[in-house]
């Protein structure tokens, strides 16, 4: 995470540094990313860089967290628009997230490839701060539960795990150019319909 020195910078300067880092992380994988290119594009010195971040991995994690905030905002908006309906929220959020990801397809493709390159980066990105947990609990609390066939709160988490599996698989297919945006969206809609209907046929 960034130092207080970075956090106390004017927003404009912070945005310039983040934009320079995103440009570099979009260009190449993290293993090949150049601090020199980032500081040149951001017009800062190497010394300044290390007063802001521990290393390039630290900057990478922080930069991607800015995208995570953008995605959380998208889900919140979809929850509001769908009145908390889980399946409609998923469809709406997915469509919006696909557009965001398509605009920065190279970046998101590199994100997935970076997970395989460096396990410590994956763990760092998956670490949940207290703030992240509050955000997640807030999102869950807005899901309408009276139309879901669940017995416990734990079952809701199981359902969310299944849906996230659908979402992540679709995104990977998109980034690896296995399917188009329209194809992964159609596939998710079909998967959600099957999940909503259930797969066990009662006598």
State the DSSP code for 127: P
- Residue 25 inside a domain? The answer is yes
Query: With contact defined as beta carbons under 8 Å apart, do 38 and 21 qualify?
Result: yes
- Residue 189 inside a domain? The answer is yes
- Residue 53 inside a domain? The answer is yes
Residue 32 belongs to domain spanning: 4-197
- Residue 160 inside a domain? The answer is yes
pLDDT value at residue 134:
63
- Residue 203 inside a domain? The answer is no
Q: How would you write the pLDDT of the chain (203 residues) with one tens digit per residue?
A: 789 999 999 999 999 999 999 999 999 999 899 999 999 999 999 999 999 999 998 899 888 887 788 888 899 999 999 999 999 999 999 998 888 877 788 888 888 787 765 555 555 555 545 556 667 778 888 899 998 998 888 899 899 999 999 998 888 888 888 888 899 999 999 999 999 988 887 76
pLDDT in tens, 10-33: 999 999 999 999 999 999 999 899
- Residue 158 inside a domain? The answer is yes
Domain harbouring 114, CATH code: 1.10.357.10
Structurally, the chain folds into a number of domains equal to 1
Q: Rounding to the nearest 10 degrees, give the CA dihedral for residues 33, 73, 144, 125.
A: 20
State the DSSP code for 177: T
pLDDT in tens, 28-68: 999 899 999 999 999 999 999 999 999 998 899 888 887 78
How far apart are alpha carbons 181 and 171 in whole angstroms? 9
pTM value is: 0.76
- Residue 79 inside a domain? The answer is yes
Helix (H) or strand (E) holding 58: helix 56-81
């Amino acid at each position: 995470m960034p130092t207080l020195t970075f956090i106390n910078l004017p927003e404009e300067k912070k945005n310039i540094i983040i934009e320079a880092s995103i440009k570099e992380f979009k260009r190449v994988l993290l293993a090949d990313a150049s601090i020199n290119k980032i500081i040149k594009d951001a017009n800062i010195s190497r010394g300044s860089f290390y007063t802001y971040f521990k290393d390039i991995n630290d900057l990478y994690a922080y930069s991607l967290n800015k995208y995570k905030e953008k995605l959380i905002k998208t889900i919140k908006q979809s929850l509001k628009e769908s009145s908390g309906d889980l399946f409609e929220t998923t469809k709406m959020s997915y469509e919006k997230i696909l557009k965001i990801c398509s605009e920065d397809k190279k970046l998101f493709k590199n994100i997935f490839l970076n997970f395989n390159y460096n396990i410590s980066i994956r763990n760092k990105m998956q670490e949940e701060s207290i703030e992240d947990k509050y955000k997640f609990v807030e999102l869950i609390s807005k899901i309408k539960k009276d139309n879901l066939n669940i017995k416990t709160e734990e079952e809701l988490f199981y359902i969310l795990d299944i849906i996230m599996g659908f979402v992540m698989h679709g995104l990977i297919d998109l980034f690896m150019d296995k399917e188009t945006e329209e194809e992964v969206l159609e596939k998710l809609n079909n998967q959600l319909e099957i999940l909503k209907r259930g797969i066990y046929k009662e006598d």
